[in-house]
Amino acid sequence: MRNIYRIITLIPEYRFRAVVILFTSAVIGLGGAIAPFIFRHIVNILADFSAMRIGPTQAARDAAIAVLGFLALRLALVGVSAWLEQASDALWRNTISTLRQRVFDSMTSLSIDFYGRTRAGDIMDRFGTVTTITMWLFQLSEGTLSAILQLLFGTVLLLFKAPLVGLIMALIVPLNLYLSVAEAGKTRSYKREWHRLIGVMAGLLGEMVSQITTVRSMAGETGIMSRFNAVQRHWWAVREVEQGVEQKSGVVINLINAVGSVSTVGWVTYGALQGRYSPGDILLVLTLTQAMIVSLQPIGRLINTTAEVDTAAERLVALLDERPTVTDRPDAAELTYIRSIAFCGVYFRYPDKAHNTLEDISFEITAGEHVALVGASGSGKSTIIRLLLRFYDPQQGRILINGQDIRTYTQASVRAAFGVVLQDVALFNDTIARNIGWCNPKASEADIESAARIAHADDFIRLLPEGYATVAGERGVHLSGGERQRIAIARAVLRDPGLVILDEATSALDSESERKVQDGLSHLMAGRMALIVAHRLGTIRNANRILVMNRGKIVESGDHGSLIAQPHGVYARLHALQSVL
Ligand SMILES: Nc1ncnc2c1ncn2[C@@H]1O[C@H](COP(=O)(O)OP(=O)(O)OP(=O)(O)O)[C@@H](O)[C@H]1O
C-alpha cells in the first residue's frame, strides 16, 4: 500500500470529496444491511398470523407498513446510489486527469540523460498505470468500506442473536483476510516481475514502431519478434507460478468458508428445532451469514488486486521520483540577449562513461562571429552543442554567456535565445504551419509564412495539398530531408535567435535542395552569432574561426586559410581527403 499511498498524496486536493464518497457508500452498504431485518419482521408477522396470535386486519396493516418501509428504503438507496455514481465518476475524472497531468509535467521537466537510459515504451506503460490505479481507488471507495462495515456489523449482531454462529463468523472473517494478505505477500515478487516484463514488451514494441524503417530494410522482423517472444515466455512462466500460489490459497479459503457456511446452517436449524429461534430469526441469521460469506470473496480478491496495483504504483512512483539532473538555480535570471559565448577549460564525461568525452575545451564566439567545429566522428562536436543547450552540465570548467556562468540563467530562456537546426528534424503530427510556429505560440500566420519564405520553404509548402494546413509528421505528408531542414530553418528564423546552432546534416542533398538549404541558412545566420558543426568543409570556408577536434580536444584553431597553410595539420588532411572525394 506504500506506493498507492504515495500516489494518493500527489492529489491532496480531492481528499475531502473522496471522504464524502466513502462515507456515502458506507451508508448505502449499511442501508442494504437493514433489509434482512425487514424480512425478519414480515416473516414474524406472517408466523403470528398463521398461529392466530394476531387477526387478519392487524397482520395486513403491519405487513403493509413493513412493505412500505422496504419500498422507502429501496427508493432512498436508488436516489443516493445515483448521486454516488455521478459524484464518483466526476471525482475519478478529476483524479485521473490531475495525475496524468502531474506525470506529463514531470516527464517534460526531466533532463535528457533520463531519456537516454529509459525506453519510450516503458514510460508509456508506466503512464498507463495511472488508469489502473485510479480505477482501483474507485472500486475501493464504491463498495469495500461498506462491505467491511457490513461484516463487522453482522458479526456483532450474530454474537448477540446466535453466539455460536457469531463466533464462527468472528473466526472466519479474520482468517479470510489473513490468508488473502498472506497470499498477496507471497505473490508480490511475481507481480513485480511480470509488471517489469510488460514494461520490457512495451519498450520493444515502441522500439520496433519507431525504428520500423530500419527493421524492415534489414529484414529484422524475425530478430525483434524472437526477442519479444522470449520476454513473453518469461512473463507466461512467472504468471503461471503466481497463479499456482493463488490457486492453493483460494482452495484453502473456499474450504474454510464452506465449512463455516454449512456449520452455521446446521447450528441454526438445530436451534430452530429446539424452539430457540422464531422463523424470522432463522431467516435473519441465515441471510446475514450467507451474505457475509459471499461478501468475503470480493474482499479477498480486492486484497489481491491491491497488491497488484501497488506493484504497478511502485513503477509509477519510481518514474515520478526521477529528478532532473540539470536544474535552474532559485535565483536564475532570464537571458534576454546574447553578446558573447565562451567555453573556459570545459571537461565533460557522460554519466555512463568512464572517460572524458571533452577535455579542456576553450573558445569564444563574439557578436556576429561564425565558429565551426570540425573533426572525426565521435570527437565530441555534438557534445559541445549539448552542453550549450544545457542537456548536461560540465564536471569542470565553465560555459559563459555574456561573461556570466550559463547556470545563472534559466534553462528555458537560454534555449529560447538559440535557433537550433539539428541533423534530425522532428516533425510533429500537426499542420506545417503549427510545425513551424510550435514554440512561438504568438506567431501570426503572416510571421510563419514570412519565416518560411526566408528559409526557402514557402515554395514547396504551397505545392502541398493543403498548403500550410497540410498535416505533417508521423501520420502526415512525407517530406524529403531537404524540405524538413528548411522547416527547421523556418522555425529558427521565427525565433529571431541571438545564436544560431547548426548541426549540419551528414547525408548529402541533391544540388538544388542543397542550394536552397544553404541559402536559407545564410539568411538565418546573416548578422547573427553562429556555432556550426560541419561535416562538409566546403560549407564553412567563410567561418571566422574553425575549431578542429580530435578525441574530445581542440587540436587546431584558425580560419580556413591559416589552417590549410599547415601542411601536416588535421584540417589540411581532412580538406585534402574531401577534395579527393
Ligand atoms: N548520450 C550519450 N551517452 C553516452 N555517451 C555518448 C552520448 N552521446 C555521445 N556519446 C559519446 O560521446 C562521444 C562524442 O560524441 P559526439 O556525438 O559529441 O561526437 P561527434 O563528434 O558529434 O560525432 P558525429 O560527427 O558522428 O556526430 C562518442 O564517443 C559518443 O559515443
Output the nine-digit C-alpha cell for 522: 545564410
pLDDT recorded at residue 508: 55
pLDDT recorded at residue 476: 62
10 Å Cβ neighbour count for 337?
Answer: 8
Is the CB of 353 within 6 Å of ligand 1?
yes
Query: What are the two backbone dihedrals, phi and then psi, of residue 453, each rounded to the nearest 5 degrees?
Result: -65, -45
Contact 554, 548 (CB under 8 A): yes
- For cell 565558429, the residue is 371
Output DSSP code: residue 142. I
Query: What are the two backbone dihedrals, phi and then psi, of residue 399, each rounded to the nearest 5 degrees?
Result: -110, 125
Q: What is the mean pLDDT of the chain?
A: 86
- For cell 424470522, the residue is 280
pLDDT recorded at residue 579: 65
Q: Are strands 418-421 and 529-533 parallel, antiparallel or unpaired?
A: unpaired
Could you tell me the pLDDT band of residue 143, with boundaries at 50, 70 and 90? low
How many Å apart are CA 104 and CA 319, to the nearest integer? 11
Report percent pLDDT > 70 for the chain: 97
- Asked whether residue 474 carries a pLDDT value surpassing 80, the answer given is no
- Asked whether residue 507 carries a pLDDT value surpassing 60, the answer given is no
Tell how far the Cα of 350 is from the centroid of ligand 1, in angstroms: 9
Tell how far the Cα of 386 is from the centroid of ligand 1, in angstroms: 10
Is the CB of 94 within 6 Å of ligand 1?
no
List residues bridging with 545 in a β-sheet.
Answer: 371
Contact 134, 99 (CB under 8 A): yes
pLDDT recorded at residue 411: 92
10 Å Cβ neighbour count for 249?
Answer: 19
Contact 369, 544 (CB under 8 A): yes
Output the nine-digit C-alpha cell for 495: 525565433
How many Å apart are CA 392 and CA 389, to the nearest integer? 8
CA–CA–CA angle 199, 201, 203 (5° rounding): 70
Contact 456, 516 (CB under 8 A): yes
Alpha-carbon 214 to chain mean position? 27
Identify which of 333, 359, 473 has the alpha carbon closest to the alpha carbon of residue 412. Answer: 333
Contact 421, 521 (CB under 8 A): yes
Give the atom of ligand 1 at the shortest distance from the alpha carbon of 423.
27
The torsion of the CA quartet 425, 320, 389, 520, rounded to 10 degrees, works out to 20
Helix (H) or strand (E) holding 27: helix 15-50
Contact 522, 347 (CB under 8 A): no
Is the CB of 383 within 6 Å of ligand 1?
yes
pLDDT recorded at residue 546: 94
Could you tell me the pLDDT band of residue 344, with boundaries at 50, 70 and 90? very high
Q: Are strands 529-533 and 358-366 parallel, antiparallel or unpaired?
A: unpaired
Nearest CA to ligand 1 atom 8: 383
Is the CB of 350 within 6 Å of ligand 1?
yes
CA–CA–CA angle 389, 420, 384 (5° rounding): 40
pLDDT recorded at residue 356: 95
Nearest CA to ligand 1 atom 20: 378
Ranking 227-241, 377-391, 563-577 by mean pLDDT, the lowest is 563-577
Output DSSP code: residue 409. B
Coil vs helix vs strand at 293: helix
Average pLDDT over residues 501-522: 74
Average pLDDT over residues 287-298: 81
Is the CB of 352 within 6 Å of ligand 1?
yes
How many Å apart are CA 150 and CA 30, to the nearest integer? 6
Coil vs helix vs strand at 461: helix
Is the CB of 380 within 6 Å of ligand 1?
yes
From 114, 356, 383, mutation site for ligand 1 pocket: most ligand atoms within 8 A of C-beta: 383
pLDDT recorded at residue 261: 86
pLDDT recorded at residue 480: 84
Could you tell me the pLDDT band of residue 570, with boundaries at 50, 70 and 90? confident
- Asked whether residue 581 carries a pLDDT value surpassing 70, the answer given is no
Average pLDDT over residues 140-160: 77
- Asked whether residue 164 carries a pLDDT value surpassing 80, the answer given is yes
Contact 3, 130 (CB under 8 A): no
Is the CB of 382 within 6 Å of ligand 1?
yes
- Asked whether residue 335 carries a pLDDT value surpassing 60, the answer given is yes
pLDDT recorded at residue 8: 84
Nearest CA to ligand 1 atom 4: 350
Q: Are strands 529-533 and 499-503 parallel, antiparallel or unpaired?
A: parallel
Alpha-carbon 239 to chain mean position? 24
pLDDT recorded at residue 240: 93
Model confidence pLDDT, tens digit, residues 84-120? 888 888 988 999 899 889 888 888 888 888 887 888 8
Contact 399, 342 (CB under 8 A): yes
- Asked whether residue 268 carries a pLDDT value surpassing 80, the answer given is yes
Average pLDDT over residues 59-85: 92
Report percent pLDDT > 90 for the chain: 31
Model confidence pLDDT, tens digit, residues 536-553? 777 788 889 999 999 999
CA–CA–CA angle 156, 261, 36 (5° rounding): 50
Identify which of 234, 284, 265, 214 has the alpha carbon closest to the alpha carbon of residue 36. Answer: 284
pLDDT recorded at residue 401: 95
Burial class (CB in 10 A: 0-12, 13-18, 19+), 579: exposed
Average pLDDT over residues 464-469: 90
How many Å apart are CA 28 and CA 67, to the nearest integer? 19
pLDDT recorded at residue 501: 92
Tell how far the Cα of 49 is from the centroid of ligand 1, in angstroms: 93
Query: What are the two backbone dihedrals, phi and then psi, of residue 347, each rounded to the nearest 5 degrees?
Result: -115, 135
Q: How many residues does the chain have?
A: 581
10 Å Cβ neighbour count for 66?
Answer: 19
pLDDT recorded at residue 355: 93
Could you tell me the pLDDT band of residue 505, with boundaries at 50, 70 and 90? low
Task: Enumerate the H helices of 211-220 as residue ranges.
Answer: 212-217
- Asked whether residue 334 carries a pLDDT value surpassing 90, the answer given is yes
Structural domains of the chain, ranges and CATH numbers in brackets: 2-320 (1.20.1560.10), 331-417+499-506+513-581 (3.40.50.300), 424-496 (3.40.50.300)
Q: What ipTM was reported for this prediction?
A: 0.97
Give the atom of ligand 1 at the shortest distance from the alpha carbon of 380.
18
Output the nine-digit C-alpha cell for 548: 578542429
- For cell 463455516, the residue is 260
Q: Are strands 529-533 and 370-375 parallel, antiparallel or unpaired?
A: parallel
Give the atom of ligand 1 at the shortest distance from the alpha carbon of 350.
4
Ranking 117-121, 201-205, 248-252 by mean pLDDT, the lowest is 117-121
pLDDT recorded at residue 360: 95
Identify which of 535, 524, 533 has the alpha carbon closest to the alpha carbon of residue 500. Answer: 524
Is the CB of 114 within 6 Å of ligand 1?
no
Contact 472, 430 (CB under 8 A): yes
Average pLDDT over residues 202-228: 82
Identify which of 141, 165, 120, 397 has the alpha carbon closest to the alpha carbon of residue 282. Answer: 165
Highest mean pLDDT among 47-61, 265-279, 302-316: 47-61
Tell how far the Cα of 39 is from the centroid of ligand 1, in angstroms: 78
Identify which of 201, 160, 176 has the alpha carbon closest to the alpha carbon of residue 257. Answer: 176
